[in-house]
Structure 1
Amino acid sequence: MVNFVGAGPGAPDLITVRGQKLLSEADVIIYAGSLVNPQLLSYAKEGCSIYNSARMTLEEVLEVIYAAEEKGLMTVRLHTGDPSLYGAIREQMDALDEKGIPYTDCPGVSSFCGAAAALNLEYTLPDVSQSVIITRMAGRTPVPEKEEIASLASHQATMVVFLSTGMLEKLSERLIAGGYTADTPAAIVYKATWEDEKTFVCTVGTLAETARENNITKTALMIIGDVVSHSHYNRSELYNPAFTTEFREAKK
């Protein structure tokens, strides 16, 4: 059995209870070494074989999994955050399907959730934004043309931009081309929930300058939209005494 496990955003105690249990039971752990907090490996049992996939290709990862399966061992493939976001898990699952190897997927806390917590931010403020667009800039790895940043920015929803810290001048340019103004609130969150977490509130127009002044070059995500400032919003109808719900009658 292979278990894909979300490591969480960084803090070792933000892995799920299920994920921690699977780690403690694993005979083999293959972890995304450049992004997963190594403190999580302390949950591994004695004698567990541990591999850092930052130095491995897909084929090399699969070779380790296949070898473990032949010996009847349980493998944990430990991915950063939640495996479903930029985890490259589908290609691994397809390879396992071809071999008839069973697997499960244990979700984790994504760094975009950790970033919101770091800023005490709510992504979906009433009458400000009820949608969150998670995306990234095109770099060495392309992005489908229909998902170009300016096109997505035209919706004026809350945006969370991964894997783009080294392209912030271009990001600002494309956000403004899509309809955001230069003074639209924005934030940069570096290593959300890690011990060395840093947060910076700025604007769309000052993203690159803010990162440069604070020596932020990687391992950060950007949040774009008026929810960052939370300066104006309407209260939730769910808890409004004048609003009837399935569980509560409105008060006159």
Structure 2
Amino acid sequence: MKKIYIIGAGPGDPELITVKGRKKVEEADIIIYAGSLVNKGIIGCRKKDSEVYNSASMTLDEVIDVIEKGVEEGKKVVRVHTGDPSIYGAIREQMDRLDKLNIEYEVIPGVSSFVASAAAIKKEFTLPDVSQTVICTRLEGRTKVPESENLESLASHKASMAIFLSVHMIDDVVKKLIPHYGEDCPVAVVQRATWEDEKIVIGTLKNISKKVKEENITKTAQILVGNFLGNKYSLSKLYDKNFSHEYRSGKK
């Protein structure tokens, strides 16, 4: 069977790849991994004789050629992406090419950097009476963003927000957010969440730009914004002794 595996490697810590994903890496004959973002320790469990390709220096055509050749030779091929491949992973274009080649594929999800960042700062995105919505987005750069999804429009909802791929434009991010969240809104910037050199900067929209620049954070960082970073919220109904649900009767 012509089949490959597209694997989410997680945010960085080699122990945060899923058990299923790690097993596929261990079994692989050919590994294509996003070397500019994926911790090389993720593929440290590979077979000694496996072939390894770093896609950071490859084109889409080159990636597909390696996959096609591998499956034709009956080899097990895995494609390793950072975080979860469905978020800014550019996997749709790869899957469409594989469909045309009649190469079957399975996507194995991974832990995204935005949830790893929330874990690093010990916060919950969906606090009762604060926010029940999480927006994952990015500021427009060389890659365009649909006009209907511009940062100002999304910020108007005042939801919990995780901003990818934008820390190098932190001044612009702040400028677009302040009119909606206010300059006192808490912000956390987490660089390389779960890596050994993880860096966390906490501030407000008023001072976060200065703090980020002082720490020389210019890439591979999440910008988390919203009042979920504060300390005011309501307790969940889930564990409320007076609240009944399918598995528990509340007090009368």
Q: Deviations over 1:125-173 (max 9, x none)?
A: 0000000000000001111111000000000000000000110000011
* Contact 1:159–1:223 (CA under 8 A) maintained in structure 2: yes
Match of 1:237, SS state, is coil
Match of 2:173, SS state, is helix
Gapped runs of 5+ residues in structure 1? none
What's 2:17 paired with?
A: 15
* TM-score normalised by the chain length of structure 1: 0.98
What's 2:219 paired with?
A: 218
What's 2:164 paired with?
A: 162
Name the aligned partner's letter for residue 225 of structure 1: G
Give the distance between the partners of 1:199 and 1:172, measured in 2 at CA: 17
Give the distance between the partners of 1:118 and 1:158, measured in 2 at CA: 16
Q: What is the Cα deviation at residue 206 of structure 1?
A: 2.1
What's 1:74 paired with?
A: 76
Give the distance between the partners of 1:47 and 1:53, measured in 2 at CA: 19
Q: Deviations over 1:194-226 (max 9, x none)?
A: 001111111122222111011111110100001
| 2:65 paired with 1:58 | no
Which of 27, 36, 39 is the aligned partner of 2:38?
36
Name the aligned partner's letter for residue 190 of structure 1: Q
Which of 134, 137, 142 is the aligned partner of 2:136?
134
Match of 1:223, SS state, is strand
Give the distance between the partners of 1:8 and 1:106, measured in 2 at CA: 11
Give the distance between the partners of 1:86 and 1:206, measured in 2 at CA: 28
What's 1:251 paired with?
A: 251
Name the aligned partner's letter for residue 116 of structure 1: A
Give the distance between the partners of 2:176 and 2:142, measured in 1 at CA: 17
Which of 7, 16, 31 is the aligned partner of 1:5?
7
Report how many aligned residue pairs link the two structures: 250
RMSD: 0.8
Give the distance between the partners of 1:51 and 1:208, measured in 2 at CA: 37
* Contact 1:150–1:176 (CA under 8 A) maintained in structure 2: no
Give the distance between the partners of 1:206 and 1:121, measured in 2 at CA: 20
* Contact 2:202–2:208 (CA under 8 A) maintained in structure 1: no
Match of 1:238, SS state, is coil
* Contact 1:132–1:159 (CA under 8 A) maintained in structure 2: yes
* Contact 1:169–1:208 (CA under 8 A) maintained in structure 2: yes
What's 1:49 paired with?
A: 51
Name the aligned partner's letter for residue 117 of structure 2: A
Give the distance between the partners of 1:136 and 1:38, measured in 2 at CA: 26
Give the distance between the partners of 1:134 and 1:176, measured in 2 at CA: 18
Q: Deviations over 1:95-144 (max 9, x none)?
A: 00001001000000111111011000000000000000000000011111
Match of 1:39, SS state, is helix
Gapped runs of 5+ residues in structure 2? none
Match of 2:132, SS state, is coil
Name the aligned partner's letter for residue 80 of structure 1: T
Give the distance between the partners of 2:113 and 2:43, measured in 1 at CA: 19
Match of 1:76, SS state, is strand
Name the aligned partner's letter for residue 247 of structure 2: F
Name the aligned partner's letter for residue 122 of structure 2: N
What's 1:182 paired with?
A: 183
* TM-score normalised by the chain length of structure 2: 0.98
Give the distance between the partners of 2:104 and 2:206, measured in 1 at CA: 48
Give the distance between the partners of 2:54 and 2:246, measured in 1 at CA: 50
Match of 1:205, SS state, is coil
Give the distance between the partners of 1:175 and 1:232, measured in 2 at CA: 21
Name the aligned partner's letter for residue 217 of structure 2: I
What's 1:207 paired with?
A: 208
Q: What is the Cα deviation at residue 181 of structure 1?
A: 0.5
